[in-house]
A and B are shown apart, each in its own frame.
Chain A
Amino acid sequence: MSGFTLDDLRTVMRECVGVDESVDLAGDIGDVAFAELGYDSLAVLELASQVQRTWGVPLTDTPALEARTPGAFVAYVNDNLTEAGR
């Protein structure tokens, strides 16, 4: 399936927002809370900002920033990609 995947999110997390050594990003992180991955609200805001620019999808509204897990974040991005006609 095309669209925005968890691996795409992993790439942005690794390259743009940073990951602590104690976090296994390659693991099953879909349902792990951002907080447990060392991501506070500002980190999620930065994540949304990076994805918005790279993927051309508006994400700075509240639902994207309220995503508590990478899985929820990916789902929200894909919903918006669909709406954008991708």
Chain B
Amino acid sequence: MGPSGTAVVTGIGVIAPTGMGTDAHWQAVLAGKPGIGRISRFDPSGYPVRLAGEVPGFVAREALPGRLVPQTDRWTHLALWAARAALDDAGVDPAALPEYAMAVVTSSSSGGTEFGQHEMERLYRKGPSWVGAYQSIAWFYAATTGQISIRHGMRGPCGVLATEQAGGLDAIGQARRVLRDEAELVVTGGTDASLCPYGLTAQLATGRLSTVEDAARAYLPFDVDASGYVPGEGGAILVLRDAAAVPPGAGYGVVAGYAAGFDPPPGSDRPRVLRRTLERALADAGCAPSDVDVVFADGLAVPAEDLAEARAISEVFGPGGVPVTVPKTLTGRLYGGGSALDAATALLALREGVVPPTAGTSRLAPGCDLDLVTGAPRRSAPRTAVVLARGHGGFASALVLRAVRGRDADGRGTTGVTEER
């Protein structure tokens, strides 16, 4: 058990279609500046989906050590960059901490698809001897965790969560558990980069990607014109530390509650799990629905899924009972990086006292009785945020984040740190 048992996010590294770096991302989010455009990483003209959120301006050979680039996939490149940014942001020198007290827990959705496609092309065009040795370690889900661990000398309990878009929250939940058990510092979050023909084709199989060609109308969660989602790449890496290792009032926020669930099989008469997962996360945080100031929704933009999520939110908070936002409308859904980026955005919202808007959505679909924040940021000084995420196939997760400074509605405590169990 960590000294306090309370996990504080002390560093954030964002690498997303909204920009490289936390500040660039946050400014884009506040300004509603979209990161979605025509796919440029390959010619998408032969595919039904041609829009995506791509990370602008990232050149791996300039941003990373020379030895790491050829042995890792782009999704790992992005995470290595973001991990360094997060550690710098946290003011941590890993060499100064015991290596077995630092852990890495990340999320991965599809592994190294671009690297894998490249090697497969060599296999069928030239033969087996042309497949590189690094295919053996570059593609698989834990590669990012492993490379961050090696680069920064972090040999504590490491792991990877592969639960599609829910993975970012599940990684943070596991990171908190590891922090409570034995680690002093955990690097967590996740990224994804599956914008190659192989990666996109695998995503198309779900039938849930938008084929709308207008970037401003392609991804409209909770809207009457919702038509599926736009894929994206990138994510966020966070540094978690026990509150006892952090000066009072420092950090972005506290991981106050977490829960994960899994939907019953199709055709079951049991209810879907999102509502109960949300309630369990609130119970874990020891807070009532009325304590929550903003919900960062999953926002799949598939009408039936939007309705299901809106109902789950309304059943817990009451119709229109809590501000809801979907800033990922600027980036598309980032799969393994998606809910990690949502958590990062929520933490920035808590620190800055602003709820960022949802881009695009203008007319709520019937039954989606939400107080959706659109148009401009809402300066409502949120203290507690909930992040919801659903992963393809039935994953559902909820995270409760609490601001570090100040008092909550009941006046308990002077910091988010001391008020927690």
Does A53 lie at the interface of the complex (its beta carbon under 8 Å from any beta carbon of B)?
yes
Contact A16 B137 (CB under 8 A): no
Interface size class of B (residues with CB under 8 A): 10 to 19
Interface centre among B65, B67, B68, B134 (most CB of A within 10 A): B67
Contact B67 A20 (CB under 8 A): yes
Contact A18 B68 (CB under 8 A): yes
Does B70 lie at the interface of the complex (its beta carbon under 8 Å from any beta carbon of A)?
yes
Does B66 lie at the interface of the complex (its beta carbon under 8 Å from any beta carbon of A)?
yes
Contact A42 B66 (CB under 8 A): no
Stretch at the interface among B125-133, B190-198, B219-227: B125-133
Does B381 lie at the interface of the complex (its beta carbon under 8 Å from any beta carbon of A)?
no
Does B354 lie at the interface of the complex (its beta carbon under 8 Å from any beta carbon of A)?
no
Interface size class of A (residues with CB under 8 A): 10 to 19
Contact B133 A45 (CB under 8 A): yes
Contact A38 B133 (CB under 8 A): no
Does B69 lie at the interface of the complex (its beta carbon under 8 Å from any beta carbon of A)?
yes
Contact A18 B70 (CB under 8 A): yes
For residue B414, which residues in chain A have a CB less than 8 angstroms away from its CB? none
For residue B133, which residues in chain A have a CB less than 8 angstroms away from its CB? 42-43, 45-46, 49
| Nearest neighbor of B150 in chain A, beta-carbon distance | A40
For residue A18, which residues in chain B have a CB less than 8 angstroms away from its CB? 65-71
Does A52 lie at the interface of the complex (its beta carbon under 8 Å from any beta carbon of B)?
yes
Minimal beta-carbon separation of B418 from chain A (angstroms): 44
Does A21 lie at the interface of the complex (its beta carbon under 8 Å from any beta carbon of B)?
yes
A sample of 6 more A-B contacts (CB under 8 A), given A20-B66, A39-B67, A42-B134, is: A17-B70, A18-B70, A18-B71, A20-B67, A43-B71, A43-B133
Chain B positions within 8 Å of A, measured between CB atoms, are 65-71, 129-130, 132-134, 136-137
